[in-house]
Each structure stands twice: as C-alpha cells, then as structure tokens.
Structure 1
Amino acid sequence: MASRSRVPLGLILFSALVAGAGNGISIIAFPWLVLQRNGSAMEASVVAMAATLPLLVATLFAGTAVDYLGRRRVSMLSDLLSALSVAAVPVIALSFGAEAVNVAVLATLAAFGAFFDPAGMTARETMLPEAAAQAGWTLDKANSGYEAVFNLAYIVGPGIGGVLIATIGGINTMWVTAGAFALSMAVIGALRLEGAGVPDRTQLPEQVWAGIVEGLRFVWNLRVLRTLALIDLAVVGLYMPMESVLFPKYFTDRSEPAQLGWVLMALSIGGLVGALGYAVTSRFMSRRVTMIAAVLILGITMTVIAVLPPLPVILAMAAIGGFAYGPIQPIYNYVMQTRAPQHLRGRVVGVMGSLAYAAGPVGLIVAGPLADGAGLQVTFLALSIPMILIGVVALFLPSLRELDRTPG
C-alpha cells in the first residue's frame, strides 16, 4: 500500500490558487488597458467578450487534450501559453511603444489566453481522485477544498490586479500575471502522482474527433450525468445574467459602483464559504438533498432581490445564494470523477464544462433586452421563477437518487 502524503494534493490546490489569481488579475487588467486608451466601454466589452467566447469550444477540446496528452503535461502547457499571452502585452509595448497595444492586440491576446485556460483547469480537476486517495482524504473533501481555492482566487485576484494597476500601471501588471502562471507551471512540474503522466493510448480512439464524440456519448448515455448536465445548463443560463447584467445595471443607474462591488463580493464570499462548508455538511446531508436545496434557495433569494429591497437585504440574499450554491460544483466533480473511467475522465469534465459555458451567453442575450424593455424587476422574476421550478422538478427526478449511490 502506498504511503499517504498530502504533498500532491497541496501542489494541485496551490497551482489552482495561483493560476486562478492570474486569471482574476487579467479580468481587471485587460479592460483597464482599453479604457485607459480612450474610455470606450464598447471596446472594453469587445475585449471582455474575446476572453469569453473561446471558452465555449476550448473546454470541450481541453478534456480531449488531457486524455490524449496527459494531465500533468497539459496543465503545464496551459500555464505556459497563458503566461505568454499576458507577457506579450509588455513585450509589444517595449518593442513598438505603448500605442501598439491597441484594442485588436488586446482582444487577440485575451482570446489566446482564454482558449488555453480550460485545459489547465480540467487537468488539475482530473488529478484530484488520485491526489485525494494519496492524502487519505475523501473525494468530497478534496473537491470542496479545490472549489474553495478556486473561489478564493477569483476574490483576491481582481483585488491584487487593482492594487498593481494603481502602483505599477496596467502594462507592467501583466508581468506579474505572467509570473503567476509561471509559478503554477513550476508547481505542477514538481508533482509526482499516479495517473498524471503519459496516458495509455491503447484505450483511446486513434482519431481525436472520435475521442470527443466518445466523451459526448458517455455523458448522454449515463442517466445521472445527462440529468446534471441539463440542470447545469438551465441554472447557469438563469444565474449568469443576474451577476453580469442585472446587478451592474441596477447599481449603474443609481451611480453606486462601490455597492456593486459589495454585492459581487458577497456572492463570491458566500460561494467560498459554501464550498468549504460542504466538506462538513457532506457527512450528514445527502448530495441529492444538498443539490436540490441549492437550486431552490438560489431561486428564492433571486425572487427576494427582484423586489429591489434595501442594500443590506440584497447583500444578505447574495451571500445566502452564493453559500447555497457553493457545494454544487464539488458534487458535480464527484460524480464525473467516480462515474467516468480514468481514460475518459478529461473528456467528461470537458463536456460538462462546455455546456455550462454555452448556457451563459444564451442567458445574457435574453436578459439584456428584457431588462431594457420590461425593467429589472420583471427580468429578475423571469429568471428566478424558472429557477424555483427547476428545483421543484428535481425533487421528482429518480436519476438524482444516483448521486448518493456508490458507483460499481
């Protein structure tokens, strides 16, 4: 029996924290560089969209790359390419002048970096089962820690980015971001873990497209995964507009940018505490009950927010909604990691992730015009009521009972 060690799990979690913080800094730095040039919100939106759209396709291919090339190798390669994409900003500025860092360049580099991010995330996620076993942790506990670290990175990253921009400027901030990705790559380079190296290619289809189709077919044919994928598709599509459109519009109309930051921080902190808390609640609460409660509570908090109550109530509802939804991703991770055979694990994670990324833009396309035409209250209700209905329907789905069955 192999000796227990928490080192591999610690390396994976630290890599996820550092790389996530690098992404969090980029979220602030790229739009800032655009706005610093000419103050155009439209051009800043173009760069933000360029960093989002590649995720739709990249996540699907990321899982295939993990299965075909190996988890450790793909994680390091992803961090390397992400580092190069952000380091290119100061390199171009030094070589051709700051004016050369225009919107087209920034959009291209943002898209380049975003395309490779899912590969690193997928690779680290698929190494958790072996790392948890070596540490003597349950898989629920490992997934809880991983998602908590991920949430923490996106809380501290933008904050660090803001401080760096204020002290050393937007372009030089990209050097620090590149350093974060390089550190993540070095940490994974030191990782030694069973199943993280070169995969057994005899279990994989020769054609990459056949491999992708195999992953899609596996998710669709396994009832519990198919149900979770459809629920996630609907929930993300309903939730994302609240964070990305409705709250910004509400507080922009009131000229209260600081309050917007407080609400988004309340959501993130709630998610962080909820993910951490799942390591404890998983001992006495079933995964099915946890998941259904999360969807229902999120729908209820969104409904309360729809009446546009005073700020303290909005903050409380945001924190409660984030807390309730914090355990969802650890539950999804557990199901994917325990149901998918090792040679398919990357592709299953990739398929599930790509569906979630696809849902976000659909919800945004609907919510924006609805908010302009019918108002924020109507739009909040149009999102919250279906969320509650999904939670009610989930109560009667027999496939969700498989969440608490030990896989054969």
Structure 2
Amino acid sequence: MVNSRRVPLLLILSATLLAGAGNGITIVAFPWLVLQRNGSAVEASLVAMAGTLPLLAATLLAGTAVDYLGRRVVSMLADLLSGLSVMAVPVIALVFGVEAIDVAVLAGLAALGSFFDPAGMTARETMLPEAAARAGWTLDHANSVYEAVFNLAYIVGPGIGGLLIATLGGVNTMWVTAGAFGLSIVAISALRVEGAGRPDRTKLPDGVWSGIVEGLRFVWNNKVLRTLAFVDLTVTGLYMPMESVLFPKYFTDRDEPAQLGWVLMALAMGGLVGALSYAVLSRHLKRRTTMLIAVLTLGVAMTVIAFLPPLPLILALCAVVGFVYGPIAPIYNYVMQTRAPAHLRGRVVGVMGSLAYAAGPLGLIVAGPLADAAGLRTTFLALSLPMLVIGLLALGLKSLRELDRTPD
C-alpha cells in the first residue's frame, strides 16, 4: 500500500513522466515529418529551431506565471495547450490532407508547443521541495528520482516515437503525444501539496516585467547560479544539434527510424542511471568534480561519435554521455532550491532555464547548413571540440567551488 504522505510526490513524478514522454515523441516525430518530405537537414534544423526559439522568452514568462498564478494551475494549463498544439497535426491532415502539413506548418506548431512546455516543467519542479518534505525525502533523494523519471520519459518517448512512426506514420503518432499530455493533466488535478495553490500576493512585485527583472537580478547577483547558467548555456548550444538534427539526419539518410529511437533511448537510459546514481555518488564525489567530469566526457565522447563508428559503439558512447550528465540536473535543482526563497523559486528556475535555451537556436542555425555543406563528421567535430575547451576552462572557475558549500 502506498504511503499517503508520498502521494503528492508520486503525482508530480507521474505527470513528469507523461508530459516528458509526450515531448520525447515529438523529438523524433517533428524532424521525421520534415525529412520524410525532402531529406533536407536545413529544413529539419529550421523546424527543430522553431521548437527551441520560443523557449528563451517562454521560460522567463513561465517562471513569473508560476509565481503569480500558482504552480498547480500553471502545470495543468501548460499541458492542455501543449496537447492541443500537437493534436493540430493529425487534425489538419484529416481536414485539409497530408499535403497541407508543410515545413511552415510544422515549424509553427513546434514553436507553439514549445512555448507552453517550460511552464509545465517549471511548475512541477517548483512543487518538488514541499512534496519531498511531505514524503520525508531529502532534496538530494527527491531531485535524483525526479531527474531519473524525467530521463525515463525520454527513454519511453523517443523509443515509442520511432516505433509508432514505423507502424502508424508520423502524423498519427501525434495522437499519442496529445494523450500523454492529457494524462499528465489528470495526475496534477489530483495533487494537493503546500505551496501549490494561490501564491501570497504580498510577496509579489507589481507587474510581470518587474517580476522577471527581480528573478534576473537574483541569479546575476548569486555567483554560483550565474556561473552555472553560462556553463549550461554553452554546453546546451553545442549538444542540442547532435540530438535534434545530426542523429535524425544520419538515420533518415539510412532510412532507419527505429535505430534513431534506440540512439535517443541510449542517451536517456544513461541519464536515467546517472540521475539515480546521484544520491550515492554525492557521498563520494563533490558536486564540482561531478560537473567537470561530465563536461569533459561529453567532449571526448562526441569527438569519437564524429567519426560515425558502427551503431553498437554509438549506442555505448551515448549511454556514457547520458550517465555522466545525469547527475548535473539534480545538482542544478539543489542549487536553485536552496539559494532561492520560495516566492522567487519559479522565476529563478525560469531564468536558469531560459539562459540555457538561449544558445539552442544558434547551435541549430549553424548545424543544419554545416551538415548539408560539409557533412556530418565535420559538423560533429565542430561541436565536440569546443565542448572539450569548455571543460578545460571550467577547471579554473573558482565560483564552481561554491557547489560544495552548504548555503546559509
């Protein structure tokens, strides 16, 4: 029998799994729908970029919306709007025909869906500390399981997405995505936890813009948060094109949608194991050491992948990348949760997320044309070598030593 004190935490984890799985399906489905039409990596990168371009502004607004409107309401509303945006793909196909789903339509729907996703993720993450306290879990334990579930979603999502595309086709796959968002809404609708309802208006600024500025100022004035934001911004810009464009291009050219799903699943499976291992690893490794290992390993593994070795080696390298990077998100969560006051938590999470998303469009703009012009191997190297440089530079950043200091 489930302990009733753990029910709020289990509901948050369930909603995270369902919404994340829906997003995981779209990672495969949107690029596949484009590449199936003409095989252009440039157009695939444009659609992928459309799915990331709104994230900078959307995540900033999401944090403010969570603090102003309440965490539970924002989570359900965001999932509803995200579900409607992906459901539009098969609806348009039914009403106007498959030919109507061109690159512009896909880019628009990808942008619309991505605009709402950060609000749901931010809302669920900001409810985690209270749910963990109710369940009697430490923050390290809760963050470890939360990020493991998030990674599990990206095992289930891309894997199912690849299989559904192979059996039902890319358009009908979007029905499954909408269903996943709907079930996430059901889970959060049953949630009751401290801090999830109406916020304390006396602690909020007068307007949305002043709220965003307050969150930005807090992150900028906190040395460790500021450093983490810029490191994550750079790493995301280098890593995102590999998952969103380069691997889809490689396996589309080979007409192997299932293999694309396996590669994305290997990344997520490694992340799942890495995130689950964090609670144990944190007893033996400092947070700063864990982060440095992750960034350096990313650079080495991506460099080897650049030579496009056989699929088993690609899968192994992707699993390693996921494993070493898995503990990073729990560390980020811990720092945000312990440095930010409760009434600012949504905005701090939003600011940190938006800064990470800011580099994504730039990386995608470069990766698509470079892949078509110079080939996948050159593009992989162009992304992996700077990752190695970032890891080496991070060794000398004194501010990262704050990761291992207990906050006042």
| Superposed pair shares fold, TM > 0.5 | yes
Match of 1:396 in 2: 396
Match of 2:73 in 1: 73
Code of the residue aligned with 1:190 in structure 2: it is: A
Alignment of 1:213-362 (within 5 A): 213-248=213-248, 260-362=260-362
- CA separation of 1:342 and 1:11: change in aligned 2, threshold 3 A: same
Match of 2:406 in 1: 406
The CA deviation string for residues 223-264 of structure 1, in whole angstroms up to 9 with x for no partner, is 000110111111112222333344455566777666554433
- CA separation of 1:111 and 1:226: change in aligned 2, threshold 3 A: same
Match of 2:101 in 1: 102
* Larger RCO (CA under 8 A, 6+ residues apart): 2
Query: Equivalents in 1 of 2:236, 2:206: separation in Å?
Result: 34
Query: Equivalents in 1 of 2:378, 2:173: separation in Å?
Result: 41
Query: Equivalents in 2 of 1:375, 1:171: separation in Å?
Result: 29
Match of 2:154 in 1: 154
Aligned residues of 1:72 and 1:196 also touching (Cα < 8 A): yes
Bigger Cα displacement from structure 2, 247-256 vs 124-133: 247-256
Match of 1:14 in 2: 14
- CA separation of 1:314 and 1:279: change in aligned 2, threshold 3 A: same
Match of 1:386 in 2: 386
Code of the residue aligned with 2:353 in structure 1: it is: G
Bigger Cα displacement from structure 2, 251-260 vs 202-211: 251-260
Bigger Cα displacement from structure 2, 242-251 vs 230-239: 242-251
Unaligned runs of 5+ in 2: none
Bigger Cα displacement from structure 2, 322-331 vs 110-119: 110-119
Aligned residues of 1:4 and 1:136 also touching (Cα < 8 A): no
Query: Equivalents in 1 of 2:259, 2:161: separation in Å?
Result: 19
Query: Equivalents in 1 of 2:31, 2:254: separation in Å?
Result: 22
The CA deviation string for residues 91-147 of structure 1, in whole angstroms up to 9 with x for no partner, is 4555x3435853354443332222111100000011111111111111112111111
Query: Equivalents in 1 of 2:4, 2:25: separation in Å?
Result: 35
What is the aligned-residue RMSD (CA, Å)?
Answer: 2.9
- Structure 1 residue 301 displacement after superposition: 2.0
Code of the residue aligned with 1:364 in structure 2: it is: L
- CA separation of 1:51 and 1:389: change in aligned 2, threshold 3 A: closer
- CA separation of 1:247 and 1:80: change in aligned 2, threshold 3 A: closer
- Structure 1 residue 336 displacement after superposition: 0.8
Code of the residue aligned with 1:208 in structure 2: it is: V
Query: Equivalents in 1 of 2:314, 2:172: separation in Å?
Result: 37
- CA separation of 1:314 and 1:146: change in aligned 2, threshold 3 A: same
Query: Equivalents in 2 of 1:174, 1:15: separation in Å?
Result: 18
Query: Equivalents in 1 of 2:255, 2:84: separation in Å?
Result: 37
What SS class does the counterpart of residue 5 from structure 2 fall into? coil
Query: Equivalents in 1 of 2:236, 2:269: separation in Å?
Result: 18
Bigger Cα displacement from structure 2, 102-111 vs 136-145: 102-111
TM-score relative to the length of structure 2: 0.88
Query: Equivalents in 1 of 2:136, 2:352: separation in Å?
Result: 27
Query: Equivalents in 2 of 1:255, 1:242: separation in Å?
Result: 18
Alignment of 1:177-196 (within 5 A): 177-196=177-196
Bigger Cα displacement from structure 2, 23-32 vs 331-340: 23-32
- CA separation of 1:22 and 1:384: change in aligned 2, threshold 3 A: closer
What SS class does the counterpart of residue 263 from structure 2 fall into? helix
What SS class does the counterpart of residue 406 from structure 2 fall into? coil
Percent identity at matched positions?
Answer: 77
Code of the residue aligned with 2:122 in structure 1: it is: T
- Structure 1 residue 366 displacement after superposition: 3.3
Code of the residue aligned with 2:13 in structure 1: it is: L
TM-score relative to the length of structure 1: 0.88
Bigger Cα displacement from structure 2, 40-49 vs 222-231: 40-49
Match of 1:200 in 2: 200
Query: Equivalents in 1 of 2:305, 2:217: separation in Å?
Result: 39
Query: Equivalents in 1 of 2:166, 2:380: separation in Å?
Result: 35
Aligned residues of 2:81 and 2:113 also touching (Cα < 8 A): yes
- CA separation of 1:30 and 1:245: change in aligned 2, threshold 3 A: closer
Query: Equivalents in 2 of 1:29, 1:383: separation in Å?
Result: 24
Bigger Cα displacement from structure 2, 351-360 vs 160-169: 160-169
Alignment of 1:103-182 (within 5 A): 103=102, 104-165=104-165, 170-182=170-182
- Structure 1 residue 48 displacement after superposition: 3.9
